[in-house]
Structure 1
Amino acid sequence: MQTVLQTSIAGTKPSRGKVRDIYDLGETLLIAATDRISAFDVIMTNGIPYKGIVLTQISKFWFEFFAGQVEHHLIDDDVAGFPNPFCDHADQLAGRTMLVKKVEVLPIECVVRGYLAGSGWKEYQADGTVCGVKLPAGLKQCQKLPEPIFTPATKAELGAHDENISFERAAEIIGSEKAAYVRDRSIEIFQKGSAYAESKGLILADTKFEWGLVDGKIILIDEVLTPDSSRFWPADKYEAGRDQESFDKQFVRNYLEEIKFNKSGPGVELPPDIVAKTSDKYIEAYERLTGKPFAWRS
Structure 2
Amino acid sequence: MLALKHVASGKVREIYEVDEERLLFVATDRISAYDVVLPDTIPDKGRVLTGLSLHWFDFLETPNHFLTTDLGGIGLSDDEAAELTGRAMIVRRADVIPMECVVRGYLYGSSWREYRAGGGPTTEHLPAGLQMAQQLPEPLFTPATKAESGHDENLTVAGARELVGDEVYERLRSVAIDLYRRAAVAAAEKGVLLADTKFEFGFVGDELLLVDEVLTPDSSRYWPADKYEIGAVMPSYDKQYVRNWLDSTGWDRTPPAPAMPDDVK
Q: So what's the TM-score if we normalise by structure 1?
A: 0.84
Return closer, same or farther for 1:222/1:274 CA change in 2, 3 Å cut-off.
same
Secondary structure, counterpart of 1:211 in structure 2: strand
Aligned partners of 1:128 and 1:136 also within 8 Å: no
Aligned residue in 2 for 1:20: 13
Taking the TM superposition and a 5 Å limit, the aligned residue runs for 1:29-178 are: 29-67=23-61, 70-79=62-71, 81=72, 83-85=74-76, 88-128=79-119, 131-158=122-149, 160-178=150-168
Secondary structure, counterpart of 1:46 in structure 2: strand
Secondary structure, counterpart of 1:163 in structure 2: coil
Query: What amino acid is the match of 1:15?
Result: A
Count matched residues: 264
Q: Distance in 2 between matches of 1:48 and 1:206?
A: 23
Query: What amino acid is the match of 2:169?
Result: A
Aligned partners of 1:209 and 1:220 also within 8 Å: yes
Percent sequence identity is 48
Q: Distance in 2 between matches of 1:201 and 1:183?
A: 27
Aligned residue in 1 for 2:224: 234
Aligned partners of 1:20 and 1:31 also within 8 Å: yes
User: 5+ residue gaps in structure 2?
Assistant: none
Aligned partners of 1:121 and 1:130 also within 8 Å: no
Query: What amino acid is the match of 2:128?
Result: A
After superposing on structure 2, the runs of 4+ consecutive aligned residues of structure 1 that deviate more than 4 Å are none
Q: Distance in 2 between matches of 1:12 and 1:213?
A: 22
Aligned partners of 1:116 and 1:142 also within 8 Å: yes
Aligned partners of 1:203 and 1:234 also within 8 Å: yes
Q: Distance in 1 between matches of 2:142 and 2:257?
A: 29
State yes or no: 1:253 paired with 2:247: no
Aligned partners of 2:31 and 2:41 also within 8 Å: yes
Q: Distance in 2 between matches of 1:130 and 1:181?
A: 20
Aligned partners of 1:16 and 1:22 also within 8 Å: yes
- Deviations 1:245-283, CA, capped at 9 Å, x for gaps: 1111133222222322232122332122211xxxxxxxx
- Deviations 1:97-139, CA, capped at 9 Å, x for gaps: 1100001111111111110011110111122455254111110
Aligned partners of 2:4 and 2:75 also within 8 Å: no
Q: Distance in 2 between matches of 1:137 and 1:251?
A: 29
Q: Distance in 2 between matches of 1:169 and 1:257?
A: 30
Secondary structure, counterpart of 2:16 in structure 1: strand
- Deviations 1:212-234, CA, capped at 9 Å, x for gaps: 00021111101111111110000
Aligned partners of 2:121 and 2:154 also within 8 Å: no
Aligned residue in 1 for 2:202: 212
Match of 2:263 among 266, 273, 282: 273
Query: What amino acid is the match of 1:116?
Result: L
CA drift of 1:54 comes to 0.8
Aligned partners of 1:45 and 1:268 also within 8 Å: yes
Higher helix share: 1
Q: Distance in 2 between matches of 1:257 and 1:124?
A: 20
Secondary structure, counterpart of 2:234 in structure 1: coil
Q: CA RMSD in A?
A: 1.6
User: 5+ residue gaps in structure 1?
Assistant: 1-7, 276-298
